[in-house]
Amino acid sequence: MVFLSWTRPSPEEQKACINKSGSFNYDNKFRGATEKPAPLLKQDKELGKDGFYVNYARVLVGSGLETFEKGKDALQNWRHFGLNWSFVDPKTPIQSGSKFCVCVKEVFPWLMMPLQVVYVSENKNLKKGVASFSFGSGTLQGHLLAGEERFSIALDENNQVWYEILSFSKPAHLLSYFGYPYVLLRQKYFAHHSGSAVRKHLSA
């Protein structure tokens, strides 16, 4: 099952995709694994045994609490998907259990890939000058990949603000199985452009 559209997917098409998607397509024992710090996730031997590949990107997007708050707002409004070739309905609420579609243009057709928010996490310790906001989403039936992805924005002890993408994935369809090297390249391509989109939003 693959969800395709020859034109930019409408809200109705995205809703239909979500309604047909069903449940998560990866093992429950890995649900929420992206809450771990990136180094620990990369060392997770169970993920490797199950054929998952860990992808990680970290981009410096500014400094200060105000920038962090703007970055948090950017994630909550899906600004990190503000691309010509990839988007998420900005009205999608960032809350556990919320289902949505990532719409991606690949050459001629658009792909609609269903996911569900697994967790939302926010921490602030302004006495130490640190704060973070993140959410993780898991793939549903009908997604070309199986796995989970976390987006986060964090203010560190040096007053720097970082945007991070952390995911683990493996092919869940013949299309992605045969084209997985291309998929991995596209993940890196997305990370680069998503980081640029966040920086652009913060400097606006």
pLDDT classification of 100: cutoffs 50, 70, 90: very high
- Whose tokens are 């034109």? That residue is 7
Residue 108's pLDDT band, with cuts at 50, 70 and 90, is confident
* Cα–Cα distance measured from residue 182 to residue 68, given in angstroms and rounded to the nearest whole number: 33
Residue pair 80/57 in contact (Cβ under 8 Å)? The answer is no
User: What average pLDDT does the structure give for the chain?
Assistant: 93
Query: How does DSSP classify residue 9?
Result: P
- Residue spans of the domains in the chain: they are 3-203
| Cα–Cα nearest to 55, from 165, 144, 176 | 165
CATH of 3-203, one of 3.20.20.70, 3.30.530.20, 3.40.50.1110, 1.10.357.10: 3.30.530.20
Give the residue among 172, 188, 165, 166 at the shortest CA–CA distance from 41: 166
Beta-strand relationship, 86-87 and 99-105: antiparallel
pLDDT of residue 189: 92
What pTM, to 2 d.p., does this model score?
A: 0.94
Q: Each residue of 133-151: pLDDT tens digit?
A: 999 999 999 999 999 999 9
**C-alpha Rg value of the chain to the nearest Å:** 17
Q: Give yes or no for residue 107 having a pLDDT over 80.
A: no
pLDDT score recorded for residue 82: 87
Phi-psi region of 16 (alpha: psi -120 to 50; beta: other; left: phi over 0): alpha
